[in-house]
Structure 1
Amino acid sequence: MSEPLIIGAMVRTLGAYPSGWRHPGAHADPLGDAAVLRRIARLGEDAGLDYLFFGDWLATGPDLEFRDPYLLARIDPLSAVLYLAGVTERIGLIATVNSTYADPYATARATASLDVLTGGRAGVNLVTGAEPRAAANHGRDAHADNAARYDRAEEFVRALRLLWESWDEDAWRADAASGVLIDSDGLRGAAFDGAHVRVDGPLNVARPPQSHLPLVHAGTSARSRALAAAEADLALIAAADPASAAATRAELRALAAASGREPGDVKVVVPVLPVVAETDAAARAIVDHLLLLVPIDDGSGHAGREGFPANRSLASFLDIAGVAADHVVRRASVDDPVSAAVAGTFDEPAARTLELVRRQTGRDLGGPHPVTWRLLIAAHAVPAAFVVGGPTAIADHFEAWRDAGAADGFNVLSAFQPAQFEAFTRLAAPELKRRGLLGSSGETLRDRLGLAAPRLARAAAPVG
C-alpha cells in the first residue's frame, strides 16, 4: 500500500466560497470565530488530518465583500495557531508570515515559541505579498517589486534558520549538582547581515523541537518556484487538472535537485474544494444553492454598491457567450431557463460554464430543474473547482490525482463553516482512511509530513 497523502485543512471561517456565509446555518460573524476555530480544530484532529493552515491578507476594503468575504475581517494567523495550541494535541498548526513586512527576529521568536508550546507541531507559510494596500498599512509608499520581495524573502529564510539554531541541542544542561544551567559554547548568534535583512541573535527561545519548522511557500513566478524548490518543505500549487499539476510537480522536483536537495524533499500540495453530502445528489443540491446565493445584477440593488464586480450581469455573460444579436434573450429575466437552441450558439467560455453547471448541480436544459441564466452568471463570475459528491466521489478524486503523480497532498477548503468541514471529516475522511490515503503518523509536524531532518544553516560562532 502507498504512503498516505498529506491532507490538511485551509481554514477560512467565513467559508471559501463567496456566498458560503449566506448558506443556512453558516458561520457569518467574525466575532464568533473563536468557537468555530475550536470546532474545526477538534474535527480536524479527530479525523486524523495532518495540519490546519491559516493564510493571511494585510489589508481590507469593501470590494472584498463580493470577491473574498473571508478576507474582510479575520484573526491574525499567528494568534489563531497560538490560540489553538492549547486546545489541540496532535494536529499541526501552520501560520502565514509575510516576509516583505515581518521582522525576522520577532517571527523566529513567535514561531519557535509555538513549536515549543505544541511539542513540535508548528509550521510557517512564507509569503511575499501582492496587495498594494498593504504597503500603506506598513508605512510604505509603494509595494516592493517582485525581485526585491524575493531577494528579501531569501534572506528572511536564512535569518530564520540561523535564529532557530541559536541553541545547540545539548546546550541546556540544567545540572543542579554542578550549578551549570547552560553550555555557553552551545549558544550561537545569527550574525546575519544581508542587503535586506540584518539580525544578530541569538534567539531567546529554546531550540524548537523540530529544529527547523516546516516551511511552506506558494507562487507562480520563476522566483517563487525557485524559492519553493530551494527552501520549502511544502510547495502549494494551483492547477486545473492532474496533467498540469504533475508537470508543475516535476518542475519543482527538478529545481530542488538542482539546488542540492533530494527531489522528494519538496512536497507538492494542491487545494481542493469538496462539497460533501451523504449522496452525490445531495451534494449537487448544495452547489446549486450556493450559486443561487451569489449576488448578481438582478435589480435587487447589489449592482449599485461599492466594489460590486462588473461581470455579474446577464449582459456581461451574453457578451462572453457571443450572443450579440438576440434582443429577446437580452431582455430575459435572470431566472428564466436557458433554451437548448440558445445554448447551442454559445462560444467556448460560456459553453464550458454551462457544462460545469450541469455537472455540479445536476440541472439540465429543459425538464423540471432547468439551468437558468442566474446560475450561469454566478458560475462564470465566481468560478470554483468544486469536487462534488458523496464519500466515494471525493476519495476517487484524491486517489486519481495521487495516481497521476499530480500531488503529494491536498489543502481542503470548505465552502462554508462549520457544516461542510463537518461533512468532510464525518463522511469523506473515513473513506480516505479506508483506502490508505489519510492517516500519517508521527509526533511532530515534520514526521507527519514525511520530511527528512532539516539541513542546518550552520550558525555563527558561539556567543561569548
Structure 2
Amino acid sequence: MILGAVFRGLGAHPAGWRHPGAHRDPLRDAAVLKRTARTAEAAKLDYLFFGEWLATGPDLEFRDPDLLARIDPVSSIAFLAGLTKRIGLIATVNTAFADLYTLARQTASIDRLSEGRAGLNVVTGADPRAAGNHGRDGRDGTEPNYDQASEIVRALRLLWDSWEDDAFVHDARSGRLIDPGKLHRTDAVGEHVRVTGPLNVARPVQGHLPIVHAGTSSRSRLLAAELADLSLVALPTVEQAVLFRAELQQQALAFGRERGHPLVVTPVLPVVAATTAEARAVYDELLRLVPLDDGSPLAQSPDFPANRSIRALSTVVGVPLGTPDLDDAVPLRVTRRFSDGGQRLLESVATRTGRRVEGERAITYRHLLASHAVPATAVVGSAREVADHLDGWFTDGAVDGFNVLSPFLGAQFEAFTGLVVPELQRRGLFRTEYEGRTLRDHLGLERPQNVHVVEAREVGRSA
C-alpha cells in the first residue's frame, strides 16, 4: 500500500499542540520538519505531503491552529531535498494564484535537486482573504476554477518537456553543447494560460512530476480522472470508497488512461500506542484539551466557534440538555432520547475512548461536545488495531493507500512509524526497503514520454 505523511507542524488535531510534549512553536518548525522527514524516511514512507493555505486570521486559533503560520510548501520540499535521500516530497500549489512559468521552473528545479523525488498537489479556489492577498476581488476568490487548473497542468507538462532527455550533447571537440532541434517552444494558449517557453531548466528526472488532486465533486473527479496520478479523497465508509475508486478509474479509462489509474489515497488520523488503553488515554486527553464554551475568558473571544456550547450539542442530539457541568456523566435516560445523529455521536465516542454510558468510565458531556466540535475521523488503538483498519480498506479495494495525519508531533508520528509500520511490514503490506530512487518509482508509475516527441511522431505518421 501507499503510505504518505502529511506534515502539519502543530498537529492535525486542533488540540494536539496542547498535548504534553507536543510541538507547539511555529518558530521551531524547521527543527521538527527535519526530525519528521528523517523519521518518515527511516520508516520507508512513500512521501511527505505539504498542504497549503494562503491566508490567516485569529479565527484559525480554534478551528485549525496549524494554518495560522506555516512554511510555504514549495520552500519546504526544497529545504528537504538536501536533507533526505529517498523519500518523495509533495508540495501543494493553488493554480488560482500561481505564475505558470515560475511554477514550472521551481518544480523542475526541485525534481532535479532531489534526484527525482518531487510531486505537485494541484488545488483550486480559495477563501476571500487569500484572494485579497493576491490582489483579486475577494468575492470571486472562493469558486474553484477547474478549467484553469486543467490548462495549467497541461502547460506544465509541455514546459517540463521543453528539453528532450538527450538534448545536451556536450561535445567539447566540436563546440556543440546542445542539439537545438531537441529544444521545444511550448506555445500553450488557452482561456487561462498563455506561455511560450521553452523552460530554462533541464527536463525533470521523472519527466513529469506526479500530479495529485483532491476532491469528490463531479468536476474534481473529472480533473483527477483525466490528469492526476494520485486522487486524494475522504469518504466515510469502505463501501462508498470502493464505489468511488471504481467509478473514478473507469472514468479515467474513457480518457485513454491505463487501467488502475489514478491511484486513490485517503486521509487517516491514527491515535496509536503500545496498548489499546494507552491509545484511548491519548485520545481522551485530546478531547479534554479542546476549548469549549465553559464560561472561561477564552470562550468569550469573538472568534470562539459557536458549535462548542451545550446549546449546540442539544441541537445535534435532538434533546434539550439544560445546563449540566461539562464533566458530568451523561445519564442513560437522556441518551435513550437522542436522535439518530446523537446516537452516532455517542457510538463514535464509545468506540474511540472505550467509555460507556453509566459505565465505570462514563461518557461525559465534555466527550460528546468535544467530539462534535472537532469531528476528526480518528482511528484509535494499538498497532494491530490501527493496522487492521488500514489493511481492511486496502485489501477490500477501497483505496491504494493513506495520507497519515498525526494529531500532534512528534510522539504520535513516531508511534505510527515505530509501531504500525512494522506491523504492516510483517503482514507484507508495506516495503521494508526502498526499491526505486524516484517518487514515481515508489508509486509504481512509469516515466512518461516527452509530449513534444510524441506529438512530432504522430504528425509524421499522419503526413
TM superposition score category, shorter chain reference: over 0.9
Letter in 2 for 1:454: P
Relative distance call for 1:10 and 1:241 in structure 2 (3 A) is same
- 1:455 is displaced (CA, Å) by 5.3
SS at match of 2:278: helix
For residues 281 and 112 of structure 2, the distance between their equivalents in structure 1, rounded to whole angstroms, comes to 45
SS at match of 1:350: helix
- 2:380 alignment partner in structure 1: 388
For residues 316 and 377 of structure 2, the distance between their equivalents in structure 1, rounded to whole angstroms, comes to 20
1:216-235 → structure 2 map (5 Å cutoff): 216-235=212-231
1:399-418 → structure 2 map (5 Å cutoff): 399-418=391-410
- 1:419 alignment partner in structure 2: 411
- 1:197 alignment partner in structure 2: 193
Letter in 2 for 1:387: V
1:42-441 → structure 2 map (5 Å cutoff): 42-142=38-138, 144=140, 149-324=145-320, 329-439=321-431, 441=435
CA deviations over 1:129-165 (Å, ceiling 9, x no partner) = 3322111111011354788711111110111000000
For residues 195 and 139 of structure 2, the distance between their equivalents in structure 1, rounded to whole angstroms, comes to 23
Seq. identity, %? 58
**Contact map agreement 1:265 1:451 (CA 8 A) in 2:** no
For residues 148 and 155 of structure 1, the distance between their equivalents in structure 2, rounded to whole angstroms, comes to 14
What count of residue pairs does the alignment treat as equivalent? 453
For residues 179 and 185 of structure 1, the distance between their equivalents in structure 2, rounded to whole angstroms, comes to 16
- 1:367 is displaced (CA, Å) by 3.6
- 2:446 alignment partner in structure 1: 452
Letter in 1 for 2:21: G
- 1:452 is displaced (CA, Å) by 2.4
- 2:459 alignment partner in structure 1: none
CA deviations over 1:331-376 (Å, ceiling 9, x no partner) = 2111111111111111111111111111111111224421110110
**Contact map agreement 1:395 1:431 (CA 8 A) in 2:** yes
For residues 355 and 222 of structure 1, the distance between their equivalents in structure 2, rounded to whole angstroms, comes to 31
Relative distance call for 1:18 and 1:44 in structure 2 (3 A) is same
- 1:189 is displaced (CA, Å) by 1.1
Which is bigger in relative contact order (C-alpha 8 A, separation at least 6)?
1
For residues 151 and 275 of structure 1, the distance between their equivalents in structure 2, rounded to whole angstroms, comes to 38
Letter in 2 for 1:351: Q
Letter in 1 for 2:451: A
Letter in 1 for 2:441: D
- 1:212 is displaced (CA, Å) by 0.4
Relative distance call for 1:15 and 1:194 in structure 2 (3 A) is same
- 1:118 is displaced (CA, Å) by 0.6
**Contact map agreement 1:357 1:376 (CA 8 A) in 2:** yes
- 1:441 is displaced (CA, Å) by 2.6
TM-score scaled by length of structure 2: 0.95
SS at match of 2:202: coil
**Contact map agreement 2:125 2:142 (CA 8 A) in 1:** no
Letter in 1 for 2:356: D
**Contact map agreement 1:134 1:143 (CA 8 A) in 2:** no
**Contact map agreement 1:187 1:202 (CA 8 A) in 2:** yes
For residues 254 and 143 of structure 2, the distance between their equivalents in structure 1, rounded to whole angstroms, comes to 21
Instruction: After superposing the two structures, state which structure 1 stretch, 304-313 or 30-39, moved more.
Output: 304-313
Unpaired runs of at least 5, structure 1: none
Letter in 1 for 2:36: I
- 1:389 is displaced (CA, Å) by 1.1
For residues 170 and 230 of structure 2, the distance between their equivalents in structure 1, rounded to whole angstroms, comes to 36
SS at match of 1:263: coil
- 1:453 is displaced (CA, Å) by 3.0
**Contact map agreement 2:128 2:142 (CA 8 A) in 1:** no
For residues 48 and 448 of structure 1, the distance between their equivalents in structure 2, rounded to whole angstroms, comes to 10
